[in-house]
Amino acid sequence: MSKQKEELEHRLKLRNIKLSDYDDIREIMVSIYKNQGGAWTKEELKNQLKAFPEGQIAIEDNGKVVAAAMSLVVDYNKFGDNHTYDQITGFGKFDTHDMEGDTLYGTDVFVHTDYRGMRLGRRLYDVRKELCENLNLRSIIAGGRIPGYTNYADEMTPRKYIDLVKNKEIFDSVLSFQLANEFHVRKVITKYLPSDTDSRAYATLLEWINIYYEKDEKLIGNKKSIVRLGLVQWKMRRFSNVDDLMQQVEFFVDTVSGYKSDFCLLPEFFNAPLLAEFNDMDASEAIRNLADYTDEIISRMSDLAVSYNVNIVAGSMPEYDGKKLRNVSYLCRRDGTQDKQYKLHITPDEASYWGLQGGNGINVFDTDAGRIGILICYDVEFPELGRILAEQEMDIMFVPFWTDTKNAFLRVNTCAKSRAIENECYVAITGSVGNLPKVENMDIQYSQAAIYSPSDFSFPHDAVVAMASENEETIIVADVDLDLLTKQRKAGSVRNLEQRRLDLYSIQWKQKK
């Protein structure tokens, strides 16, 4: 390699700043901040490194510092939004640094003019975010200059200028870069840097939220990140009584628990084989008699949840109170508590054949493995319900279903995948297979259990986490990462929840829960 070529080759290295870097840093600062006070003194840099060496970051090229980012940790409540640069940095000495604080405060980012266009600033912002996450700090806050404002100050307010920069009608060399790096403007600050004449002493108060921040980190009992789902694709077979039915249920709960699953999902009307006992009755009378078993089944299901240490979404069963026949799914938590979700939308066949009626409420349920919602079969075909659950910060939607034909299954399946993508959540679905030749209206079954996710770089490209074989009795067990949902909602390629036009439309729940 020729000497000339060797001199032109970049060797970039990211590292913490050392006091011996002062001359390189001063050279950059004098060039960039000649109208804002120039460079720090060597003594100021020494104090900054002494206060918080981990927060002072440089990029060197062939041994020379060509870019740097400076920061400190503060208890932000001590300063509030109306601070100045000198107040929050202790006049550059960083004696305001507090490792018990909750905020990483960015004081400076600068790049040598010869290295513009190499996106070194983006690298520095990324490493700052990494530092914020690793220190478990709530956010990064910074006061941002708006140097381009000097060209518009006579015709518009700073707020109007900022709005136009946000909308890309105006380019600002500092603010446009910060917005592109996922910072948002909280407010406009006055007299932040009185010497900054280009910004007319105004500044933007910028914030980047650490979505992984844990306010009170505990040694045990923290919210799970990786959650294991177990789905039972259930074969309809003849059972002579509830004991036979529960023996088969326990087999699957035991199997799923053996894989250390956090949830076990059963299908809609998994107890339908017991209808054979009432074949001599009218269909509407038979299903009301089937409802008599629901309390016993749920009691025994709850015991299984505790015994096998797994949260059970107990498919669905009929419930009859003497006036209304409804379809209900029980959540049997492994701590012994229960909740239930009624099916809201009743198919024409269910209404005419059995006289089923829909419930009137919908909820997100807290568990030790995330916040979940339950939509029974037909309900998943109504996108409003999924969005209402998503607005309550649901992580996983469970969809127990019963379908007889492939086209009926595909309606449920296609809509379930859509709910996962549009609501940035996981959706787990399962149904039953096989046949019940002597049970009216439950003759044949079609199912292909699956777990769906959003479709972005952190997830499977086809949004399929796991999928069972068609029409075979089986289980699928798969892990889902709840932290990836948090990342998706704040930093995904598209952000369906965050970017809704709530100024134009909204979904309103009319009934009181």
d(CA 145, CA 161): 12
> To which residue do tokens 């259930």 refer?
234
Cβ pair 428, 465 in contact under 8 A? no
Residues in contact with 2: Cβ distance below 8 Å, sequence separation at least 6, in sequence order? none
How many CB atoms neighbour CB 447 within 10 A?
Answer: 28
Is 268 part of the annotated catalytic residue set?
A: yes
d(CA 367, CA 372): 7
In terms of C-beta distances under 8 Å and separation of at least 24 residues, what long-range contacts does 182-189 make, across chains too?
182/208, 182/490, 182/491, 183/140, 183/142, 183/144, 183/207, 183/208, 184/208, 186/81, 187/81, 188/158, 188/159, 188/162, 189/81, 189/82, 189/83, 189/84, 189/143
The neighbouring-strand residues paired with 68 are 58, 110
d(CA 398, CA 372): 7
Q: How many residues does the chain have?
A: 513
Please report, for residues 68, 205, 271, 424, 462, the alpha-carbon distance to residue 39 in angstroms, rounded to integers and kept in the order given.
13, 23, 76, 46, 52
Type of residue found at 193: L
Q: Catalytic residue among 268, 319, 350, 473, which? A: 268
Residues in contact with 214: Cβ distance below 8 Å, sequence separation at least 6, in sequence order? 136, 222
Three-state SS across 260-289? CCCEEECCECCCHHHHHHHCCCCHHHHHHH
Is 487 part of the annotated catalytic residue set?
A: no
Q: Which of 292, 290, 312, 316 is nearest to 301 (CA)?
A: 312
Q: Catalytic residue among 343, 350, 417, 424, which? A: 343
Q: Catalytic residue among 132, 264, 332, 377, which? A: 377
Helices (H), 308-361: 348-354
Cβ pair 161, 149 in contact under 8 A? yes
Is 319 part of the annotated catalytic residue set?
A: no
Residues that are catalytic? 268, 343, 377
